[in-house]
Structure 1
């Protein structure tokens, strides 16, 4: 009886633990669409509840209905939730516009949620959702459905306290550390939320979840990210020279940094305080820049972002060992701040610290110790209120006007009016012609 009680207790504990988690999967890129189905069934065999597929290119826009039918059938056969980003062509007046669509299929193959945006950002017929699109799964988790740019464009209030997110839909930002593979871990870390995306699976402060070369599977808490901090660093990416030209930049004195080097860099009224201590015996020819920025950045063709940024940026190939890097700044209080750590080597949790202290402004400090092969380290502060979420530059205003004129000219009502005028004009021409002939 005692053994039976132990077994029952063990089963109850396992059931309780299992009920507090779910399994998420991500199928990595570079797969042909005919390869999706076997991996979807493989995910089911590993117990995956929800699977995010790679985003399909715009060339598949003409096959939207066919693909929806295919994924619906596959989700039903495999018995898993499937999330995928598709392009579709939607009629808009006398023309067509390309629409980006995030779709989620439930285990029955029904569409559980749809999130749409115009591809060009200025289409009239497909307005983006102003509120967060959510759906609740049969395993008791409410998910937010987002595209990559939403992480950078929206403030915390937009996400309504949701702790689990599905993200699909690629976005190329001119600010390299805002691209999904770079910004997603920082966003998940600060929000302490699970983010299941085409870029990977991120579990709050537990960081990136790993898997094999084809399929990543992770067991996640239904309550959001883990409190057990692990790795935050992401793969290095080069900051464009023309992008850094907008910053106030000071070169790091690598030789002096072996004794501990302090530098304050200011852009307008925003100042960044850097402290850098390198290990003895480093190559003094390594080149690093200390930079500050306060203003508006062109994040992409149709989006600008108001930002306050402190960053130390250098060469990816540098073998410089940093005993300590500290970056501190006073940020505007209503801003959100995110850590930037891009390194070719893994950064253990105990070597990283990110703290905030409230006062008249919000003092934020990022500190790393005993790290090498660092390319970018710093803090990205984003204004929490973006004017209308989308701020267009002069070029995009011109595009908008041209697009509006085009839409007006080819509007069905306008076309009918011109047809009516042309018919009446033809009648008048015939009558005048007959009159002229009779006069002759």
Structure 2
């Protein structure tokens, strides 16, 4: 018999070699399971271990239907028939305390069709039904999965999940999540956690990004994947909600100066971000482009929650005014950035930082991107860089400060979250928003004066 330490070493080596096959199948649960049946038949000869049934439309519009039990039965039969683990997201009506409430479930079936995990959350913060959840399960192929809902990536402090390497994320996020597109946030979380993520948008493999959408993929259970490219989910800029920038500090980027390298420090109160932008020689069309250096520190609403957010970002704009810093502006796509460097210092206590990359590109070289965190006492020093890229809509750092979070119920009792809005009078007077307003007003007045002058000349 081999010595114990040798057995341990062999087991560790074997664990590193454990792989499993997964797939994300698109469909619509409003049609039952028939959208997935043909896809399951197609992949049945590929020895798939686990499948996520992604539903594009099924959600709040279907909350009044009574087909939960029927769907559970049919998905169970599907898992059993094809001998595969199946995960999906379902809405369920519960009756308790004399009223009917809706909950959302991330539910997992094993190969025999038995339910092995259910992660349940109420649809809103006012629910009174007591629900229980089991958010982890271990498979017969030796992999433990954690189940999350998309909104958890922003609402919950996931720092204690650094050793979690296999995650299922399904279920739509809360309303008003416009700080970062959902599938981009999943990609960011997979990157910083170096984890495998099965999501409605596809399979993300750690620092390699999106690796599969609608096809079977073999995955290393430990999340380590050799990669030379960082891949993204394709973005339709028409589908991305506009971000409310009214409370952001956004300083116009001097594109002409950026050809030789442009540095700036932008602050929102005491929170500051360092920017360095270097572009290539600009063509005629590129010189008409506009970008802003955006900084924000405060509290944003997300559904019924208020969440602490700090951000440092380069954002695309239509003009010099920050209210124009929205997506969908093709005129800016000709700008080639040799280097974008953004740095910020964030609280290290009960916080998480994510890279933000919104681009119409579907991939870039892994060497062209970096995201580094360095802990110094109670400060998290974060820096991120992009090299030799174009088609950038938004790039930077998003930080969640969970110490500032609160919900509607304790809005009146929360004083910390209100500090950001109770600015000193003099700070308001010096605010860039006010200068921008007077610039805008002066332009309008000049136009009015010009029109009146023309009218008077014509009357003479």
The TM-score by the shorter chain falls in which range? 0.7 to 0.9
Quote how far apart the aligned CAs of 1:120 are: 2.0
Whether contact under 8 Å (1:322, 1:371) holds in the other structure is: yes
> Are residue 359 (structure 1) and residue 376 (structure 2) matched?
yes
The farther-off stretch of 80-89 and 314-323 is: 314-323
Secondary structure of residue in 1 paired with 2:207: coil
Q: 1:292 to 1:233 in 2, by over 3 A?
A: farther
Deviation per CA, 1:294-315: give whole Å up to 9, x if none. Answer: 11111x2212221110011105
> Are residue 289 (structure 1) and residue 270 (structure 2) matched?
no
Q: 1:369 to 1:171 in 2, by over 3 A?
A: same
Deviation per CA, 1:261-312: give whole Å up to 9, x if none. Answer: 11111011110111111110332110111110111111x2212221110011
* Number of aligned residue pairs: 375
> 2 CA distance for matches of 1:223 and 1:188?
12
What pairs up with 1:1-400 in 2 under 5 angstroms? 20-29=18-27, 32-33=31-32, 34-55=34-55, 56-58=58-60, 59=62, 61-127=65-131, 129=133, 133-157=135-159, 159=161, 161-211=163-213, 215-226=214-225, 228=227, 230-231=229-230, 233=232, 235-236=234-235, 237=237, 243-282=244-283, 283-298=286-301, 300-314=302-316, 316=328, 317=330, 318=332, 319-334=334-349, 335-345=351-361, 346-360=363-377, 361-385=379-403, 387=405, 391-392=407-408
Quote how far apart the aligned CAs of 1:230 are: 3.1
Query: What is the CA RMSD across the aligned residues, in angstroms?
Result: 2.6
Whether contact under 8 Å (2:20, 2:220) holds in the other structure is: yes
Q: 1:234 to 1:263 in 2, by over 3 A?
A: farther
Whether contact under 8 Å (2:25, 2:52) holds in the other structure is: yes
> 1 CA distance for matches of 2:203 and 2:161?
18
Deviation per CA, 1:45-101: give whole Å up to 9, x if none. Answer: 222111000233342641000111101111101000000111111002222111101
Deviation per CA, 1:366-419: give whole Å up to 9, x if none. Answer: 1111100100000011124465xx52278999xxxxxxxxxxxxxxxxxxxxxx
> 1 CA distance for matches of 2:188 and 2:202?
13
Secondary structure of residue in 2 paired with 1:293: strand
> 2 CA distance for matches of 1:379 and 1:19?
34
TM-score (norm 1): 0.79
Quote how far apart the aligned CAs of 1:17 are: 9.2
Larger radius of gyration: 1
Quote how far apart the aligned CAs of 1:337 are: 1.1
Which blocks of at least 5 consecutive residues in structure 1 are unaligned?
Answer: 1-14, 398-440
Whether contact under 8 Å (1:118, 1:126) holds in the other structure is: no
Q: 1:18 to 1:353 in 2, by over 3 A?
A: closer
Which blocks of at least 5 consecutive residues in structure 2 are unaligned?
Answer: 1-12, 317-326, 414-460
TM-score (norm 2): 0.76
> 1 CA distance for matches of 2:161 and 2:348?
19
> 1 CA distance for matches of 2:231 and 2:400?
19
Whether contact under 8 Å (1:251, 1:288) holds in the other structure is: yes
Deviation per CA, 1:123-166: give whole Å up to 9, x if none. Answer: 0104575xx71000011100001111111111134537321111
Secondary structure of residue in 2 paired with 1:72: helix
Whether contact under 8 Å (1:301, 1:396) holds in the other structure is: no
> 2 CA distance for matches of 1:180 and 1:29?
19
Secondary structure of residue in 1 paired with 2:67: helix
Match of 2:4 in 1: none
Deviation per CA, 1:162-188: give whole Å up to 9, x if none. Answer: 211111111144242444212000001
